[in-house]
Structure formats: C-alpha cells, structure tokens
Structure 1
Amino acid sequence: MSDLTITRIEAIPYRIPYRKSLKFASGEVSHADHVLVRVHTAGGLTGCADAPPRPFTYGETQRGIVAVVEDVFAGQVIGLDATERARLHARLHRTIGNPAAKSAVDMAVWDLLGQAWGQPVTRLLGGYTDRMRVSHMLGFDTPTAMAQEACAIRDTYGITTFKVKVGRRPIELDVEVVRALRNTLGDKVELYIDGNRGWTASESARALEQLRDVGLTLAEELNPADDVLGRRWLVKGCAVPFVADESATTPAEVTRELLGGSATAVSIKTARTGFTISEQVLALAQGLGVEVVMGNQIDGQLGTACTVAFGAAHEPTVARAGELSNFLDMSDDLLTEPLRITGGELAAPTAPGIGVTVDPDKLARYRIDT
C-alpha cells in the first residue's frame, strides 16, 4: 500500500440557504442542498469536491448522490492508488448516469494529487493563465429588478458579462427583460441568453428575431434537444453560437449535438464532467472548431474554485467569461477563505490541489446527516 492508496470516501449532505432564489425555466433553487465528497488516502491526504444535485436536469438528488458514493463508488475505488485515474474512471463508469457524483469523486482525487505533488490543479491541468473573466447569471424577475441586480453586480464586482435566463411564456416577458438590461447597462456590457429548454423552436426563433438589434453574443438551450428537426432548423438560422448545455453532458452527446447540427458551441461544467471528462469535452470541441463556455451548476465556492481551476488552465476556456459568480447569492459557504471577485475577474487558487479549505465548524453547522 502506498501513501496515495485510497482508504475511505465520505459523502456529506449539507444545506445552506440562498439570500435570493434563482428561478429559471426548468426549476428554482432556494437552498444549496449539496454533497461534500471527501477522498482519504493512506498517507493522510484528503481531497474534497462538491456535488450539486439537479434533479430537474440530470435526475440526481442529494440522498441519491450520498447513496451512490457510499454504496457503489466507495467499494469500487477504495484500494486503488489515486494515480490510477484511468482505472478509477473505468470503475465509476460501470454505473450509468450520476454525473455530479462521479465528477465530485474525480475532482477530489485531482485535489489530493495536487496536494501530494505540491502543485495547484490548474497547473496540473495546463496552467495557461491564473484567472478568468466572470459572467453573472440573472434568474427570472421583473425587468426593473433584473436591471437593478445587474447594475449592482457591475458596480460592486466589475462584471460586464451577463447570462440572462429566459424561457417564459409569453416570450415577450423575457424580450422585455433583455431590452431593459441593454437599455440600462449600455453597449459595453455583453449579454447572452439561456432558455433551459423552456421554449419551442418557433418561439425561440421569434424571440431571437425580436432581439436581433440587442447584440446578443450566445443563445443556450432555448428549446429541447429532443425536438430533433425543430432544433436543427432553429440552430441553422441562429445568428450567434448556439450553446449545448443540458443536451451535451458526455463526449458522446457533444458529438451528437455538434455533428447533428443541433448546436454550434458547448458549455463545460466541471460539476457534471469533473476535470477528466471535461478535458475530453474540451479536446473534442477544439478538434471540431467550436467555442466553449465554462458554465455554472449553481455552484457554491468550492464548485466555483473547481470551475476556475479548469477554465484558467486552457486557452479556449478563457476566451469567454466563465459563469463564476452565483455563489454571491448564498447566505454563507463552507470555505475558510472566501473567493473574491475583483475587477470582473476571479483568480484561480494557488495553493496545492484545488487550493481551498473547508471550514470544519461551518461544515458541522450546515451538514444534515447528524
């Protein structure tokens, strides 16, 4: 047994309320009902990562993540050396689905490897730069409220890129919001929209036509990928990159969406593809010549640290602002030192591993399994 032999895995459910609920076409999040995954080694190292369940998107629940990690993955992974990442992944992928649970195990292993080798994960992954520009995600509200929130975020944190949740009916509700944001924020702010599959293809096309003069830079998952012909028709006529998100959760799905004409860009979320599979998705996107966006799974600060660690490591993922700020809506977090957005940017942590530390007192306060 080496010092990097995996000896134990924990899955700790916790709950932290949001100051403001995030509402969107496929659901609403008012609490961070997440699972902290910790992987322990014989040498005393512990790697940590966060698993945010999104039952309305991937079918995972908080209790389901705890169960699959403890009852299935632990038995498959304990006894492996943490450097045997390919073997670890082969065992995890015997189980169908469970993307957030698998991703948390993967990233926790990367975390402890970085600690063992004395290097931040972002450098192990590529080390392209040390920070990313930040995009802030705006959930459903009135035009006035959303414009006020965007102004406050811009003025406080220097963020000038906003992802606007759309997908309501009638579509004019969201058209009015996007226009209000453009009129309030001016031309120097980047706006793009995300429908979370809320509209039909024809509704999406009508909304895009009404917003043609607003200067959108991306359109994401406006309608379901299962609407095969309608989706292809919509994407073919879309004047901006059409981002596959929930429809492209694996490399195979990315291939299907891009080659099938159902998307022209890809969202990468480390919360659902970890670091290892995210590298595969990024390489696939590069090979096919499409843009990528570092997406947000409504992550807390630990999840956001993982996103910026991956995003800052590669040139294509820093080309666009990453969705790195929605932890600002949480009433508290688990980290000993909070992440700080300044000048519209978030720096990747520089300590070995993912580079952040969970506060044991906060974990004790918010965990719900004791």
Structure 2
Amino acid sequence: MKIVRVEAIPFAIPYRKPLKFASGEVHSADHVLVRVHTDEGLTGTAEAPPRPYTYGETQESIVAVIDRIFAPQIMGLTALEREAVHEKLDRTIGNPTAKAAIDMALWDILGQAAGMPVSGLLGGWTDRMRVSHMVGFAPADIMVAEAIRIRETYGITTFKVKVGRQPYTDDVEACRALREALGADVELYIDGNRGWSASESARALREMDGLGLTFAEELCPADDVLGRRWLVARSPIPFIADESATRPAEVTRELLGGSATAISIKTARTGFTASQRVLHACEGLGVEVVMGNQIDGQIGTLCTVTFGAAHRTTSRHAGELSNFLDITDDLLAEPLTIENGTLRIREGAGLGTAIDPDKLARYRQDR
C-alpha cells in the first residue's frame, strides 16, 4: 500500500444562502477534494474545507501545500506508516485541514484493505449519531422559523445557536425566542466565534440564565488570557474551546490553564489520528467533548460521524452533522440522509466516500 500519488482537487458548490457568524460568512463551499493513491490500486478520499478567517488556509494554499510540499514528502511511504507520514507533515507549521485530509484518506485506505468500515477500526461503538443543527445570524423570527423547519423535516432536536453580534442583546433575544418556540425538550447551546469581550459574554450568560443552555463555545478570544479565565471560572455551563484548541497541545493548554472546561473535536482539522489523541486526553482529564463541524460538505460530514460514532465519549452529545443541508449539491455518489434526528455511518469497507465523477467534473475549479 505504498503512496504513489496525492491529488488536491479544488471544487466549489454554492450555498443555498450565506452562512453568517461572528468570525465571517461563507457563500460557497470552496473546498479541496484530497485523494491518496496506492500502488495496489486503493484510493483514500477526504475533504479539506479552508477557513481563512480561522486557520489562515485558503483553497489555493491547501492545493499548493499538498502538491508542492506534502505529496513529495510522503511518496513511497505506506498507509500503515501514519506516524512517519505525520512526522513529515509536521515539519511544516499550520495547514491543519490539509494535514487532516491526508490522514483521513490514509485511514480510508486501511479500511478498504482490511475490508472493514473505518468506524470499526477506530472503535466501533455505534453505527449512528444524533444530529445538532447550526442556526446562523438572522432576525430572531427567521432563526426560530428555521429551527422549527429543521425539527419538523429531519427530527433534529439539538441546535447550536450562533451568537457574538453587537449589541449582545440581539442574541439574548434570539435565544429566548428559540427556547419559547421550541420548548423545554429541545437542546440549545451557543457559539460566539470570539465575537464578544469577556464582560459582554458574562452579561449575556447572566441574561440567558434560565434558558437551559447546554454549552457555551468560544464566546471571547482565547488571546484575552486573563479575561477568558475570569469568564470561564464564572460560567454556569461548560465552556467549549473550539478554534482555540486545534492541536493536542493547545487542548492541554486551554484546559489546564482554566480557559475551557470542554472541547470541540473537528476531524476536518485533526483528522482521525490527532482527534483520537485529543479525545483520549479529554477522557483522561475528565472533560466533555462534542463533535464539531467545519461547515463541511457531505464528505467531511461522513468523516465526522465516522469518528464520532466510533467512541462512547463522542457519542454522548449530538454531533454537528447537518451543515451540508445548506449546500445546493455535493460530490458523493450516494448522498447522506438524516432520519429521525440521526445520521448513520457507511457500513462498507473504508469511509464509503465514493465520488460521483459527473459532479466532480461539474464543480472542480482546476479545469
């Protein structure tokens, strides 16, 4: 299973509507399809979603770093030599989604070679996850209408509410409206994408007291070191580190430094190998985790549910697995479906990321 070729194919698929949040907005899924080919004819497939306002990666930079740096370095290694692959990738600083896509493609190859689903190789806990849906910035009545539509259409009963606007009272009003409209049986948590200061975050949490929120995520920047610690120490609910904890070492720093009490795991930035390291560290420290989403398409979402369903700890909370519903199309030959509020893994060998060649030809950007 020697690596003989690595492809980085840029593609773009429009969103049904712009997705807006405190750190930016997206109008199109300008992602990169990553394929790792072996000498035995097996091909591993994954997706790299650039988020320049979070990690500094762009579609162009992902293609360039894979084509010019990563691919030449890992050529000739086998899919079993993941540590050797990561040693070479880690010589280059940053580029988390490019590295993660290569890692997941290697796991896809291993699953195909073994004739087993990757979820089984990772842990095999269950075959599905409950789904959480992200509600982005909009007037409160529109946010409520979207949440109701998603619940009625897909059976989803967990919602991640984007907050971080100015003034913060707009988001307090939206969360109150969502709770009133959806009732006590629906789970709500908030994500500020670093949009507020520590004091604004504290005021917002006080004013949302009584709404039964499950988590608060990245309400203020981690670079506001003392303010963040002050806020987390006073938070009445677990405080999730997401974009501030993109590597195992950052997870340790945020947790031991008192800047977070829970962690979001995103396979789009830590693949499967580093995601397991993050998960095991969290389990050892006794903190909760959620499976996050990088506004992934269906390929990335399939990777997320594969990892999340494989472990007991990641299966306890609903995973962010529905962002692909906002994309007008996708590359998978067999599209994902959410039923009764859950998303299932693919049961065949590997990840199950068979690509529709006609769709790839339609949406790729390099021809």
Same fold? TM cut 0.5: yes
Q: Partner of 2:169 in structure 1? A: 172
TM-score (norm 2): 1.00
Q: Partner of 2:77 in structure 1? A: 80
In the alignment, does 2:320 pair up with 1:320? no
Amino acid at match of 1:167: G
Amino acid at match of 1:115: Q
Q: Partner of 1:145 in structure 2? A: 142
SS in 2 for 1:343: coil
Q: 1:91 aligns with which of 88, 95, 100?
A: 88
Amino acid at match of 1:314: H
Deviations 1:128-163 (A, max 9, x none): 111000000011001010000000000000000000
Deviations 1:9-62 (A, max 9, x none): 000000000001110000001100000000000011111000000000000000
In the alignment, does 2:202 pair up with 1:228? no
Q: 2:298 aligns with which of 298, 301, 304?
A: 301
What runs of 5+ residues in structure 2 fail to find an aligned partner? none
Q: Partner of 1:57 in structure 2? A: 54
Q: Partner of 2:197 in structure 1? A: 200
Q: 1:209 aligns with which of 206, 209, 213?
A: 206
Q: 1:184 aligns with which of 178, 181, 186?
A: 181
Q: Using the alignment, how far apart are the partners of 1:253 and 1:227 within structure 2?
A: 15
> What is the Cα deviation at residue 351 of structure 1?
1.2
Q: Using the alignment, how far apart are the partners of 1:199 and 1:15 within structure 2?
A: 31
Q: Using the alignment, how far apart are the partners of 1:299 and 1:354 within structure 2?
A: 15
SS in 2 for 1:263: coil
Q: 1:344 aligns with which of 337, 341, 364?
A: 341
> What is the Cα deviation at residue 355 of structure 1?
1.4
Q: Using the alignment, how far apart are the partners of 1:308 and 1:215 within structure 2?
A: 26
* Range with bigger deviation, 78-87 or 199-208: 78-87
Q: Does the aligned pair in 1 maintain the 2:45–2:353 contact within 8 Å?
A: no
Q: 1:47 aligns with which of 39, 44, 63?
A: 44
Q: Partner of 1:7 in structure 2? A: 4
In the alignment, does 2:99 pair up with 1:130? no
Amino acid at match of 2:197: T
SS in 1 for 2:210: helix
Q: Using the alignment, how far apart are the partners of 1:172 and 1:332 within structure 2?
A: 35
| Structure-to-structure mapping, 1:269-280, within 5 angstroms | 269-280=266-277
> What is the Cα deviation at residue 356 of structure 1?
2.4
SS in 1 for 2:289: strand
SS in 2 for 1:213: coil
Q: Using the alignment, how far apart are the partners of 2:112 and 2:120 within structure 1?
A: 12
Q: Using the alignment, how far apart are the partners of 1:224 and 1:247 within structure 2?
A: 8
Amino acid at match of 1:58: Y
Q: Using the alignment, how far apart are the partners of 1:356 and 1:253 within structure 2?
A: 30
Q: Does the aligned pair in 1 maintain the 2:32–2:62 contact within 8 Å?
A: yes
Q: Using the alignment, how far apart are the partners of 1:97 and 1:57 within structure 2?
A: 12
Deviations 1:297-318 (A, max 9, x none): 0000000000000000000000
> What is the Cα deviation at residue 266 of structure 1?
0.1
In the alignment, does 2:238 pair up with 1:238? no
| Structure-to-structure mapping, 1:249-264, within 5 angstroms | 249-264=246-261
Deviations 1:193-244 (A, max 9, x none): 0000000000000000000011101000000000011000000000110000
Deviations 1:312-350 (A, max 9, x none): 000000000000001000000000111010000001111
Q: Using the alignment, how far apart are the partners of 2:349 and 2:193 within structure 1?
A: 36
Amino acid at match of 1:342: E
Q: Using the alignment, how far apart are the partners of 1:349 and 1:322 within structure 2?
A: 16
SS in 2 for 1:214: coil
Q: Partner of 2:278 in structure 1? A: 281
Q: Using the alignment, how far apart are the partners of 1:351 and 1:202 within structure 2?
A: 50
Q: 2:365 aligns with which of 354, 365, 368?
A: 368
Q: Using the alignment, how far apart are the partners of 1:361 and 1:37 within structure 2?
A: 17
What runs of 5+ residues in structure 1 fail to find an aligned partner? none
TM-score (norm 1): 0.99
Q: Using the alignment, how far apart are the partners of 2:225 and 2:81 within structure 1?
A: 39
Q: Using the alignment, how far apart are the partners of 2:47 and 2:142 within structure 1?
A: 30
